[in-house]
Chain A
Amino acid sequence: MALLLDIYGLLSVIVHGLLLTAQSLTLGGIAFLALVAQPLAADLGEAGARTVARCRRLLRWSAAAVILVVAVNVAAESLVLADTVDISLAESATAAFALAGYAQIVAAALILLLLLSSRASARAGRAGLGLAGLALLAAATATSHAVAQLDNRAVLSVCTALHRLCAGSWIGGIPYFLIALAVCRSQGQWRRIGKRFSLLSMASVSAIAVTGVVMSLFYIGSLEALYGTAYGVMVITKSLLFLGLLGLGAMNFRVVERLRVDPAAPVLRLRRFAEVEVGVGIAVLFIAASITSLPPAVYLTNDRVTLADYAQRLSPRWPSFSTPAQASLALAQLQGQLDAEAAQGAPAVSAYVPGAGQPPPRNAANIAWSEYNHHWAGAFVLIMALLALADRNGTTRLGRSWPLLFAPFAAFLAYRDLVEGGLEDDIGFFALLRDPEIVQHLFFYALMAAFGIFEWGVRAGRLQAPRAALVFPLLTATAAAALLTHSHSIANVKDLLLMEVTHVPLALLGITFGWARWLELRLVPAEGAIAGQVWRVCFVLVGILLVLYREI
């Protein structure tokens, strides 16, 4: 049982990400219904009524998701607290976070009831939805960084609430916008829906930017803390994705404007870009969840990474492609020393006990070992990227087969991780599974190989289901987003941050790769070709970054 604790630590961030997503979808649904769908319903005729009905259905599911995820969250935290502080379950289940959770559940249940009641479409029902939504927002804000601050609680709470409300109205509103676009059939209807949602989005984006800057001033405080701490770097990453979303939104706004004068404006593009906005938006919410688990940068005054550290780490160095001997790794060296001491009468001790909560020992050879892994990973990726570039039209057999290379690539990385973890130092394979980092890595390698083979099946025509081709880009984007929440077991905070910073561009390129490939498949061929170029370029860039990767 104890193993699972360490192995699945990542899941707490995932639960918080799911919670933010469910909250955003609920707030976004209420805002979309109140400000877009219901005001236009009468003018849009049957399409308007169908849009409202479908949006209400999605809102019901979103509110139900809030209830479920909050219940899991409160139950889990209450149990942990009761057992670790030796207080009764009743006492831990009445802590402030639990009370805020119950308030969220009540608010979401009220939303659900209002949606299920036949009166909910009346004005009173709409006002009730709005009030319940605000109650949900207030309760969610009660478990944010803002309430735990010693100073400036009021201003930070207001900023947090506004930030979340507007993120919900915009990012959480996009799935409802997609529903409306799918239900409506005429240019006039699309334009009216698009125009209203654009206005809502622009107001939300402005408020997100302003509140984001204000919160950064309090939580980060200085430029040095922005680039020198994990919190700051995650905020930068979130901001970059926010800018990407803004770019997609701006392109959609142009299509909406064109609809006014040009009935042939590309509405399909509007829908496809909105699909990508949903995906990138969810990635942003998961990064936000990751940020909530970090201490605000302003409090981390030691071990910050400096610009000189970055300059040293990020200056390119040609890879050697030579690996250190396994015997020179820290674990093997330390075990040798302990064995020698044991031979002279000292108690026999293992240099590393996987899953014991301490990171494995690391020395310069381990760093060289890791760099070698990354360099070969880069070589694999570059070969695949060049084959993908050469096979732009999917015409050559060799070109189509590049995804198969994911299988040997994954096997190589898995073998190297296991050897580094101590497979050849009398630590068995199953004992190594106690190490959460190894298990996470092995899990991703297995997925990588499986989906490489799957994508090869799609490209070779062996898998012909229409949506099968969407699996690989979706998973690539998901895995890249997960890379942003993945952490390494290194005791040195500075080294840890530098390592994670080098993974940020890889993750951003991965997210772009996935969604560009999605657009290539979903847009008309002429427009999709541009997206096709984008993901191929991202593929090459990932390969280059990996080949030049360094940890020292």
Chain B
Amino acid sequence: MSPWRLEFLARGPARRLAAAFVLVLYPAAQAAAHALVVESTPAPNATVGGRELDLRVRFSDRIDKKRSKLGLASAAGQAYPIQVLDVERADTLAGHVAGLPAGAYRLQWQVLAVDGHITRGEIPFTVTAP
């Protein structure tokens, strides 16, 4: 069970009941589902240097950016806030993150494609000291 799903299920009883019903029908973001990552910065399993990082993920579909998100977590699970950057392309999410110590990270993405399919995934990468 992924962290966001556990969090989702841990809310108030009425909402939890609705959520359980919904999730029975909709395993929202299965790995093999719709919008795919076409390219990303950092690339999967890449090693990058520096405490600040520009993040960019391009997908195979046009996405609803208002209803999509990027997240960053260290191997220990600590979340780092991402400053969302505006990009013109309809298929790309971008952001900037600062204050990263060296270590392993997972760039977590969840997107709503314009056709209504929700997809999520992770891009693992490593940050080295500058």
Contact = CB atoms under 8 A, between A and B. Distances in A.
Given A84-B4, A87-B67, A76 B29 contact: no
Interface stretch (A185-193, A290-298, A393-401): A290-298
Interface string B67-81: 111000000000000
Interface string A57-79: 00000000000000010011101
B9 to A, nearest CB: 5
Interface in A133-149: 142-149
Interface in B5-51: 5-6, 8-9, 11, 15-16, 18-30, 32-36, 38
B18 A2 contact: no
A230 B35 contact: no
Given A80-B23, A87-B67, A148-B61, A293 B112 contact: no
Given A96-B114, A293-B117, A356-B1, A77 B32 contact: no
A1 B16 contact: yes
A9 B27 contact: yes
A11 B25 contact: yes
Contacts of B99: none
Contacts, number: 132
Interface in A82-127: 83-87, 91-92, 95-97, 100
A299 B25 contact: no
Contact of A95 (B36, B64, B90): B64
A240 interface: no
A2 B114 contact: no
A92 B66 CA distance: 10
Contacts of A15: 25
A84 B8 contact: yes
B60 interface: yes
A148 B113 contact: yes
A295 B117 CA distance: 10
A79 B36 contact: no
A80 B28 contact: yes
A525 interface: no
Interface residues of B, number: 49
Contacts of B22: 75-76, 79-80
Interface string A2-43: 101110110110010000000000000000000000000000
A150 interface: yes
A534 interface: no
B5 A80 contact: no
Nearest to B30: A9
A357 interface: yes
Interface in A218-246: 230
Contact of A85 (B6, B33, B36, B112): B112
Given A2-B6, A5-B24, A5-B27, A80 B16 contact: no
A149 B8 contact: no
A81 B112 contact: yes
B33 A84 contact: no
A509 B62 CA distance: 39
B116 interface: yes
Interface residues of A, number: 49
Given A95-B64, A96-B64, A83 B19 contact: yes
B126 interface: no
Contact of B67 (A1, A95, A150): A95
A79 to B, nearest CB: 4
B116 A4 contact: no
A456 B8 CA distance: 47
A79 B20 CA distance: 10
Nearest to B20: A1
Contacts of B118: 77, 80-81, 84
A172 interface: no
Given A80-B22, A230-B32, A85 B61 contact: no
Nearest to B69: A85
A487 interface: yes
A291 B57 CA distance: 25
Given A148-B115, A295-B36, A12 B5 contact: no
A5 B29 CA distance: 11
Contacts of A203: none
B90 A357 contact: no
A299 B116 contact: no
A300 interface: yes
Contacts of B61: 148-150
Contacts of A1: 9, 16, 19-20
Interface string B95-130: 000000000000000101111111010000000000
Contacts of B117: 148, 293
A4 B25 CA distance: 9
A518 B22 CA distance: 36
B114 A147 contact: yes
Among all A-B residue pairs, the 7 with the closest Cβ atoms: A97-B116, A148-B61, A9-B27, A148-B115, A299-B60, A5-B23, A1-B20
Given A150-B61, A293-B33, A295-B33, 12 more contacts: A2-B6, A5-B5, A5-B24, A12-B27, A76-B25, A77-B116, A81-B118, A91-B66, A97-B116, A145-B115, A148-B62, A295-B32
Interface of A: 1-2, 4-6, 8-9, 11-12, 15, 72, 75-77, 79-81, 83-87, 91-92, 95-97, 100, 142-150, 230, 293-296, 299-300, 355-357, 487, 493
5 contacts: A2-B5, A9-B30, A79-B19, A145-B115, A357-B2
